[in-house]
Structure 1
Amino acid sequence: MTAAPTMDDARVAELVRDAAAAPSMHNAQPWRFRYTRGDRTFRLYADFERRMPHADPDARALHLGCGAALFNLRVAVAHAGHHPDVALLPAPDDAALLATVRLTAPSAGDAALALLHPAIHRRHTSRYPFSETPVPERLKAALTHAAAQEGAALAFPESWHLRWIQELTEEAEARNLTDRGSEEDLAHWTRIGIAAADTATDGVPDYAFGPRKLGGRAPVRDFAGGRPTSDFGATPFENDPHLALLSTAEDHPADWLRAGQALERVLLLATQEDLATALSTQALEWPDLRWPLRDPASGTGHVQMMLRLGYGPKGPKTARRHVEDVLVIEE
């Protein structure tokens, strides 16, 4: 097999820039990368200082965000003409080292990954209302297959299960309004005001909050939390939102990383298919609400993320940290 050619530092930086376009809870971007020229290997590390202490005490959401960045890196590597040879959690004695990605010669399957590359920087979280136009069944099947390729399950709840999920989410939203911990997380990771929003390299700027929800049952977080912000007004959201649950069979760090990769694969495909997407973690932040979200037929599985999909505004781009702040290159 022909070895992959050496990659210059500028190209390495471009690959990490693509990886870092991934979504993460409150746009905390909880990742660090190290690239070793000698063995052409990226190492992905968790930045545990960027974990939400109240909403994500076990760092589950942090792992999902890092898994999404890992998937973007795989796509970028394939697009650059290499094969991303991935090992998850390669050092049991180092919890921060989440994965290695070694660049090798191209192989089967890389072309399919590379096709997703144009969607990386088009994908944005949208906190706007979507139309209630149904998502085509063939597209639901394609998104479900995308999740399965990464070892996760994607389900589109209907009927009483959908209503139950909406009730759990509404309960979580009500709790968050009066929860001091949730308030502290939002205060730390939201950027309000022109000076803060325009210069931020992480967090959620107020121009991305979207309008306040005036009716409807779509799961929408109030990022303003009663604080004065740029006023996008209030508007009704969907009464019958299109929701999907992403689940894994087990619930350990490796499963969280797989779920993050599945999430990003689903989001990139949805973006290619002109769907707007949003993530909802409210019910997942409360253990007693997360558990009842699981598959009602089998009673098994662990829900890792709730997605809202539909046709509507794609949402604004939010800032990312400078590559030099998240990447170290060594011999």
Structure 2
Amino acid sequence: MAGYADADLRLAAEAAVRAPSLHNSQPWRFRLREGAIEVLADRSRQLRVADAGGWAVRIACGAATCNARLALAAAGRPADVLLRPHGDLIARLTPGRPRPATYAETDLAAAIPRRFSNRRPFWPDPVPSEIRVRLIEAARAEAAWLDLLVGATALNAFGEIARGADRVLRRDPAYQAEFFGWAHADAAPDGVPVAAGAPAVEPQDLLPQRAYSERRRAAGRDFEPEPLLAVLGAGADRPVDQVAAGQALQRVLLTATDAGLATSLISQPIEVPPAREQLRRSLGRSGMPQIALRIGYGQAGHPAPRRPVDEVLQPDS
């Protein structure tokens, strides 16, 4: 197959920008170089306090790479992907052998514009076992693992770790200032709209919540007494493992969206190194946790805003 063209780059980028990123910072760029589509880290949008080491940038760019792959495959232009995080270059997509899209690729690509983080309380309806298996298999298909936390002991252990990590982050004035810099009360092409935040946390809540606003919920109502929680991880913690985990995360999120589920991400236990190690030990894993998720059924909402695609396309240098 001949190299990709400008139209392929735009198609891939339009899907890629729908990926999740910490505080919706959108730390990516895309360019066409020698017939290949390259996914690049945009270091100007890296969170200097929350993501000094670049973990969140690599997760986000990995998720964007997954979306780009799926969009190209659904259009009959499948890509061979080389993950090579070095400097700003994260991944390189070259044309693969032409073939029809699989049913899975078509369904997941169709879910891209419908996926968004839902921070509101989910309904108590349980997630069926067959869908849970699909989520685990989605992570495994990208060489990652997904542990679903079952039972009060596992949930309480995770909740304690997550709340402890959240307290550490809240005590850091620089972290808090950076966080509030990405929370917007009005329309903006990035960051998180205040209206999309969860109600303010209450003492009895199992999980911490980002304080986008002081909106309260009805007195005495639990946020989620028994949520379905999952931890996604990789076999190691090198930059390439983090990019691969980002691809796995997006495949899990799209699989959940395709199944009619709502999701949101929990990163506090990953952002605080001692909490991350404590989480790893609690799971009995040799690999490293990369992100945690809430999964369930919830009311409809809307995706967070994205920058125009033209702003993330970089000319070949």
CA contact (8 A) 1:279 1:306 kept: yes
CA contact (8 A) 1:248 1:303 kept: yes
Tell whether 2:276 aligns with 1:286: no
Identity percentage over the alignment? Answer: 36
2:16 aligned to which of 10, 16, 19? 19
Separation of aligned partners in 1, 2:190 and 2:100? 36
CA RMSD of aligned residues (A): 2.2
CA contact (8 A) 1:218 1:239 kept: no
Separation of aligned partners in 2, 1:298 and 1:216? 25
Taking structure 1 as reference, are residues 27 and 297 closer, same or farther at Cα in structure 2, changes over 3 Å only? Answer: closer
How far the C-alpha of 1:287 sits from its partner, in A, is 0.5
Where in structure 2 are the equivalents of 1:25-40 lying within 5 Å? 25-36=22-33, 39-40=34-35
Note the residue ranges of structure 2 that are not aligned, 5 or more in a row: none
Tell whether 2:171 aligns with 1:178: yes
CA contact (8 A) 1:78 1:106 kept: no
Separation of aligned partners in 1, 2:83 and 2:210? 32
Q: Which moved more, 1:293-302 or 1:118-127?
A: 293-302
CA contact (8 A) 2:75 2:101 kept: no
2:246 aligned to which of 260, 274, 287? 260
> 2:75 is matched with which residue?
80
**Counterpart of 2:205 in 1: which secondary structure?**
coil
Taking structure 1 as reference, are residues 73 and 255 closer, same or farther at Cα in structure 2, changes over 3 Å only? Answer: same
Taking structure 1 as reference, are residues 314 and 304 closer, same or farther at Cα in structure 2, changes over 3 Å only? Answer: farther
Taking structure 1 as reference, are residues 182 and 223 closer, same or farther at Cα in structure 2, changes over 3 Å only? Answer: farther
Q: Which moved more, 1:81-90 or 1:238-247?
A: 81-90
| Count of residue correspondences | 313
How far the C-alpha of 1:232 sits from its partner, in A, is 6.8
Where in structure 2 are the equivalents of 1:161-310 lying within 5 Å? 161-192=154-185, 197-198=186-187, 200-214=188-202, 215-224=204-213, 231=215, 233=217, 236-294=222-280, 296=282, 298-310=284-296
Separation of aligned partners in 2, 1:314 and 1:124? 10
CA contact (8 A) 1:157 1:243 kept: yes
Give me the TM-score of the superposition, normalised by structure 2. Answer: 0.91
Tell whether 2:91 aligns with 1:99: yes
1:321 aligned to which of 281, 285, 307? 307
Q: Which letter maps to 1:147?
A: A
How far the C-alpha of 1:203 sits from its partner, in A, is 0.8
Separation of aligned partners in 1, 2:287 and 2:195? 36
Q: Which letter maps to 2:190?
A: D
Separation of aligned partners in 2, 1:290 and 1:122? 30
Taking structure 1 as reference, are residues 13 and 298 closer, same or farther at Cα in structure 2, changes over 3 Å only? Answer: same
